[in-house]
A = this chain, B = another copy of it.
């Protein structure tokens, strides 16, 4: 090995006594916390830690260890041997150690662990003599051979399990514990044979030091195993952090009735209640708890079984919680009456528990309100806001689709909206299952517990409507087949009949057979308390995206400070309005179109009155019509089929009408509707539509005002790319405002602004700002255009594949793509504010409800975010965390 300049090489290995909680980045969570416990006098087994830097250096060198690392490990091992008076492999006083991963962020169960390292043919006899328990010694050896074989040498675990089962059959026993010391000695020999058959002769070896080197190497490598990579992606943990490796003297909970092992929390992680919570087993190792062979006992019963250790544990728990200022999750072992803590870490908890613990720690004076606000993972709050499937209930998973709208639902399968309506109104809970939904299905969606579709993505009709209604939706379920004639569906290889009960979870995208029990949403006083604290801290305002008075009211209940995006197109889609809307689209001239618009106008005004009343005193940003007109017509395929059907059997008059409709559908159908005649392009081509909408808004506001209300509408022009578009639409709107307010004899100014949802709009935001009172970044469409991908075509297709393959880390429709879309948003903000420093800036894409994205928007200086009503509390918390200078991702 190359000589090393020890003066300049980094320190790759630390004794536990050298570490502390602050060294988490270098020592990993486990290493830092064990060191911290040792530092403050909590009993822990002795040991040392190989740093994350060593792991990163090895990864960067394709696995080759950095110079000096192995020598440092040997140094520290020698010191440990000296301190304990034991040696690896020693036939008299053998030292056994555990080799465990310990990442900066906890990744439970994702990486590899090796226990009992140091045992070999010599040491096993020393261990037997020392413990007076040969069975224990040989069992420890057997476990080591198995773990080392699996983890380091890649021997299939089945090979070992098979040999063990066979031996038990031969001996006629049911449990491992019924095997004798001799049996286990034989098993050790057999396991070694199995290992060498699989990994090659001599692979196992008998030198514990070499085995230690291989074990450390295996832990390094396990950072990059697929399940760890998946876990990191799901939890936003960077791939390049690497793991530390903790080498710690083994302590044994299986040395008789004065020994034991357990896990406990300082508070109840399910409810947050301040109570002892945990489990233990006498005469057992941690593995046994996990294996489920023996049922662990409640921690309170430990007082009788191991009284001294119990009292020391309870005191230590209180001490650790006070020391860390948060609920702890602790692993411990009692070896012959003596308590050792193996690990302490911040306890994972449900959203409900997180909120309660944070509030009570404030009440107890342990943490500040700011700290409490920072303690909550806003991503978890979803759990509080929708019913969820009882996590303890059995699950019969049929299929998984896109988690298009959160919440869970149980009901009978129905295959069309009429059936849904009939059964739903009769009181039967139903789940509407469709290839995809259309505006014609609305009445079915309204009564259903949830919607499942075979096609469509996160912005499909079903998904948008369901989110708007706060109903669960699972979209794009791969392989879902619907047979409307047989009234059956095929899903996950099974066939269900209409009327069969299923369960769906729109938060996870899962569809289960049968009716699972649901847990109702939780929204308690602790939650109100902590969001109220958040409101005092945050700078970012939080509005909601809401299209109906009901949504607006719900949003206000969740603390929305206005509406950031009120879409007007859904108002056009309801059954009784669609005929007028279609008449408008099919109008042959302006007069005809104006007549149809006159039918729609009073309905629109009514919509706006309800929304403005619900948001009395708060701003309501109303976006004028955005989607291409063909969205309100049947598809080309449908219209073609109608013509052919009528041609065969219908009346000549019907044929003329159907052909006219087909011709208009053909004319309006677009190759890429996302990039077609929509937004202000419609307003410029058919100014009478925007004029009608503007008039309905102004008249609604004047009516609400006349009734003593305080309406605050703002009019938003969509899809602007050129300042001239906005200039012209602004003139149109201002003319209507002037006419209507003059007629009413009042002075009532209304702000006019624009969506920034095209790259060009952000690039020339300085030009556009001169015509705008506000910008609202439409980050959904901006993501589609900046990345050049259609959400409907990407999710469930190549985008999903990209996430699986690690081409990208995060779904850019969930968390804003900071380098790309984020840079464009930043450009728009800077350009806009450069010419108009007080320009109001908002965000109305779905990113407004995503905590990581909210942190970005705070940094970039926008004034408000707007999100779906259910996500308003999440955004409030995330905004407060951002204001505190550290968004949740930094924890």
A790 CA to B785 CA in the complex, in Å? 11
Q: Which of A521-529, A598-606, A670-678 contacts B (4 or more CB under 8 A)?
A: A670-678
Name the interface residues of A743-788: CB closer than 8 Å to any CB of B: 757-760, 763-764, 767, 781, 784-788
Name the interface residues of A712-747: CB closer than 8 Å to any CB of B: 719, 721-722, 724-725, 728
Q: A721-B788, A758-B788 are in contact. Are A801 and B684 (CB under 8 A)?
A: yes
Least CB distance, A186 to chain B, in whole angstroms: 47
Q: Which of A48-56, A60-68, A791-799, A865-873 contacts B (4 or more CB under 8 A)?
A: A791-799
A793 touches B760 (CB 8 A): no
Q: CB < 8 Å: which of B757, B789, B824 contacts A676?
A: B789
Scan A800-818; emit 1 where CB is below 8 A from any B CB, else 0: 0110010110000000010
A676 touches B721 (CB 8 A): no
Q: Collect the chain B residues with CB atoms within 8 Å of residue A670's CB.
A: 790, 792-793
B793 touches A824 (CB 8 A): no
- Interface: A591 (CB within 8 A): no
- Interface: A681 (CB within 8 A): yes
How many residues from A make CB contacts under 8 Å with B?
51
Copy number in this complex? 2
Scan A680-704; emit 1 where CB is below 8 A from any B CB, else 0: 0100110000000000000000000
Scan A813-830; emit 1 where CB is below 8 A from any B CB, else 0: 000010111011000000
Q: Collect the chain B residues with CB atoms within 8 Å of residue A792's CB.
A: 670-672
Closest chain B residue, CB of each to CB of A684: B807
Q: CB < 8 Å: which of B684, B724, B760, B790 contacts A675?
A: B790
A279 CA to B677 CA in the complex, in Å? 52
Least CB distance, A851 to chain B, in whole angstroms: 23
Least CB distance, A526 to chain B, in whole angstroms: 42
Q: Collect the chain B residues with CB atoms within 8 Å of residue A685's CB.
A: 798, 801
- Interface: A636 (CB within 8 A): yes
- Interface: A637 (CB within 8 A): yes
Q: Collect the chain B residues with CB atoms within 8 Å of residue A106's CB.
A: none
- Interface: A180 (CB within 8 A): no
Q: Collect the chain B residues with CB atoms within 8 Å of residue A821's CB.
A: 760
Closest chain B residue, CB of each to CB of A757: B788
Least CB distance, A92 to chain B, in whole angstroms: 55
Q: A724-B808, A801-B684 are in contact. Are A781 and B790 (CB under 8 A)?
A: no
- Interface: A574 (CB within 8 A): no
A722 CA to B803 CA in the complex, in Å? 13
* Residues of chain A whose beta carbon lies under 8 Å from any beta carbon of chain B: 636-637, 640, 670-677, 681, 684-685, 719, 721-722, 724-725, 728, 757-760, 763-764, 767, 781, 784-790, 792-794, 797-798, 801-802, 805, 807-808, 817, 819-821, 823-824
Could you name 10 residue pairs across A and B whose Cβ atoms are closer than 8 Å? Answer: A636-B637, A670-B790, A670-B793, A672-B790, A676-B797, A677-B798, A684-B801, A684-B807, A722-B807, A758-B788
Beyond contacts A672-B675, A758-B786, A758-B788: 5 other A-B pairs, Cβ-Cβ < 8 A, are A670-B793, A671-B793, A677-B797, A763-B824, A785-B788
